[in-house]
């Protein structure tokens, strides 16, 4: 198998896809990863492939990861060396996975080896993907796309409405490592002690990159309202761009209480952060499909509170709260979630199998095995005498 990434930068889709690759490798498949870019600048942060947690996880597992020598946003056509390296990687693969539709700009280049391509879709707004949607349609018309994996029902519905044939769209919901993401009183206590948060204080966490779709201004308005109502409360903001080094975020913070609103940036120990929280929040305005933060937070015992975007409402049904995009309503829901947390613990625990990484990887493996079998020529039988 060959997986093609646009680049390595923080985000749920890359975390999920990397976990799928690692799980398939654990199951005996051989994988290689090709990245179109070795460095990306996103969310006011320069992100080098070699520094990325997903890159380190792949290489530690023995997966070969390479990158083309291209700069982000380079409008020039792919060079001869770009195409030669891509052709070598594709020739060694039986099936190719495209992490979202953006890498199809490369895979659609003429003269490359013909291999069945599976496109992994992780958003619910194909109309906002620019030329990438056109690249997906071109690859389908060319006959190279064998399937498109949708991480959510909202993804399947959106891409079907955008003109992608329904028979190509397969839903495999996101899953997480349940051994890693679980309630952990020791981690909860240690994190709170390290950050100066009292053991009894209510805590809300947002895990998101600093992007317009995440609607950080709405979150900050809700946080200000909630901290005013909850004098003991604390708010944690994690993700790329969620640091004092981001001038746009700092400008939006204004006079926010910096002693109770913590900018943590990218964390490699989100299982600890979630375990320390009472509420995992999401205020996104569009684009979400099956937000990984809600699943990871729930599995660690935090109550999810989200706006109604993508499959979020279905994910938190019976486990948390859905709110309108109104800061007062969101702040009130956070308070209800903190109060309801002991009563919801049983439902969260009972739902763990539904959000299992094992289930997700088994579904990917079955789909890829079927595509490989269908693409493998059958040996011809000898002519009867």
pLDDT digits (tens, 9 = 90+) for 127-142: 988 899 999 999 999 9
- List the structure tokens of 125: 């707004």
**Cβ 101 vs Cβ 132: under 8 Å:** yes
DSSP 175-235: -B-TTTSS--HHHHHHHHHHHT--TTS-EEEEE--S-GGG-HHHHHHHHHHHHHH-TT-EE
Residue 30: CB partners within 8 Å, gap ≥ 6? 1
| Average pLDDT of the residues of the chain | 94
User: Span 339-355, mean pLDDT?
Assistant: 96
pLDDT at 381 over 60: no
Rounded Cα distance between 317 and 304, Å, is 10
Express each pLDDT in 205-246 by its tens digit. Answer: 999 999 999 999 999 999 999 999 999 999 999 999 999 999
Bigger pLDDT: 381 or 119? 119
pTM of the predicted protein model: 0.93
Could you read off the pLDDT of 148-194 as tens digits, one per residue? 999 999 999 999 999 999 999 999 999 999 999 999 999 999 999 99
pLDDT of residue 69: 81
Query: Is the pLDDT assigned to residue 307 strictly greater than 90?
Result: yes
- At residue 7, does pLDDT exceed 60? yes
| Coil, helix or strand at residue 354 | helix
As a whole-number percent, the residues of the chain with pLDDT over 90 amount to 89
pLDDT of 146 > 60? The answer is yes
Give the rounded distance of the alpha carbon of 39 from its chain centre.
19
What's the pLDDT band for 362 if we cut at 50, 70, 90? very high
Do residues 69 and 81 lie in contact, with contact meaning Cβ atoms separated by under 8 Å?
Answer: yes
């Amino acid at each position: 198998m060959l997986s093609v990434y646009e680049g390595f930068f923080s985000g749920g889709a890359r975390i999920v896809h990397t976990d799928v690759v690692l799980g398939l490798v654990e199951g005996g498949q051989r994988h290689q990863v090709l990245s179109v870019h070795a460095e990306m600048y996103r969310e006011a942060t320069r992100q080098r492939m070699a520094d990325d947690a997903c890159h380190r996880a792949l290489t530690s597992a023995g997966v070969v990861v390479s990158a083309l020598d291209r700069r982000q946003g380079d409008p020039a056509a792919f060079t001869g060396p770009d195409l030669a390296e891509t052709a070598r990687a594709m020739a060694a693969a039986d099936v190719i996975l495209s992490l979202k539709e953006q890498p199809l700009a490369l895979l659609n280049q003429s003269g490359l080896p013909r291999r069945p391509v599976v496109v992994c879709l992780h958003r619910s707004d194909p109309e906002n993907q620019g030329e990438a949607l056109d690249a997906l349609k071109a690859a389908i018309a060319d006959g190279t796309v064998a399937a498109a994996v949708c991480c959510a029902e909202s993804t399947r519905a959106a891409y079907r409405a955008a003109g992608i044939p329904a028979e190509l769209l397969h839903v495999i919901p996101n899953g997480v490592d349940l051994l890693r993401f679980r309630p952990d009183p020791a981690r909860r206590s240690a994190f709170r002690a390290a950050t100066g948060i009292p053991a009894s204080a209510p805590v809300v966490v947002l895990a998101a990159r600093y992007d317009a779709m995440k609607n950080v201004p709405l979150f900050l308005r809700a946080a200000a309202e909630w901290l005013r109502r909850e004098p003991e409360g604390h708010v944690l903001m994690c993700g790329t761009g969620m640091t004092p080094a981001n001038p746009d975020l700092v400008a939006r913070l204004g006079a926010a209480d910096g002693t109770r609103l913590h900018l943590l940036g990218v964390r490699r120990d989100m299982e600890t952060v979630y375990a320390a929280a009472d509420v995992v929040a999401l205020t996104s305005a569009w684009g979400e499909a099956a937000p990984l933060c809600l699943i990871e937070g729930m599995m660690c015992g935090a109550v999810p509170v989200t706006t109604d975007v993508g499959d979020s409402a279905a994910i938190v049904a019976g486990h948390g709260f859905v709110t309108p995009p109104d800061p007062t309503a969101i702040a009130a829901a956070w308070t209800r979630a903190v109060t309801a947390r002991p009563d919801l613990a049983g439902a969260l625990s009972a739902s763990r199998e539904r959000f299992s990484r094992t289930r997700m990887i088994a579904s990917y493996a079955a789909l890829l095995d079927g595509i490989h079998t269908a693409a493998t020529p059958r040996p011809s039988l000898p002519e009867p005498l």
